[in-house]
Structure 1
């Protein structure tokens, strides 16, 4: 299992590539409560064109769970540290939800390391203390993650998708239930304390913002607001809830490949 020592934390990552050793890099960053497996619906298509790196955000999956709370600075630094570990000078980036928030910071602070950036189902300011602090408290309780599972999954997908895709949802629920409560809570606190609205306005890289029409966690309105902060950005709205890369996998995958592929 590949692990990179990054900022005193072991970060688990996977590399998928069928495009060849000279293909451009694409970094994928997961949402809160997910891991590298959330990109399974997209990875085969992505790997035909790019050397794809996906990683478990600290506190998730097989990555370490250092003491929290975490900060957005740490989440941003982990990506740069992982790229340095893998000797990736420049990459494309696609992040969803928490991964999108991380992407805003990366695009604003490290534009020299990225070519094109996709920010999906995210915002420059996500939620508030009233949302994140009680959730962090709940996650740290014994049995807290299983207790949160049904309510979170109901916000991640539309009702028709939930009814139709029971097998896929079983895998997603399993990942969420077994996410470290401390890791989840510490990332809740990182999101709670991150306000990147001013930084988003400084981004000059090519950016695609993807939102979900039915997303209750980071609404389409917030997606349009984010796109408005970033000069020259593009906005795409999919008929999905929060995990649009899964619910509308074909449309999402095509949009990302079309956008990133324009540079070639």
Structure 2
């Protein structure tokens, strides 16, 4: 199997080590350069062949975003940052994915799958190597706190989660469940490959989307508007369906 050559560009030693350790757990990836500032990353992209770069946004000398605006011939880019507000800027510069620190291995793996699908659609559906399969245990369900107990919900059965005043209603194939946990709480814990936030008060199950346009999504007989601040993010996600 051809190795995927990776550059890590980040001024924080801990952040570099996290990405390096994640890469070391996948046989098909290898690190070809580690950069501590934007200038080093610029030289690495010019001098070293790489398929993929994990690029921090805020670095000394040259920021990650300035680097993307400067270098036209570059590897696929996965942004790594502690700041969610830069996401739209990154997608405007045609980055592959946007990882918010701290970066879990599960989220890292989703980004790698997205890269592999971008160069060879369907590749991420192939069986993983033995080294890969020992790494992530992603449960197909969650327990939701209600007033008196915790209720088990299968992820594949969730149609959408809707924020209504001071509570959240989780609508599934069979029933609805009310919880007082926040929508942000669920956004952080639900897998990105199955769920998508389209509005400040709505998260939808991607597999249950019947149709969509630039401004709305339909699930069953329900129709939901896409929030203005979510339009670009949702468009990027839906174009890969």
State TM-score, norm by structure 2. Answer: 0.38
**Which structure carries more relative contact order (alpha carbon 8 Å, separation 6+)?**
1
User: Which structure shows the bigger proportion of residues in helix conformation?
Assistant: 1
Query: TM-score, length-normalised on structure 1?
Result: 0.35
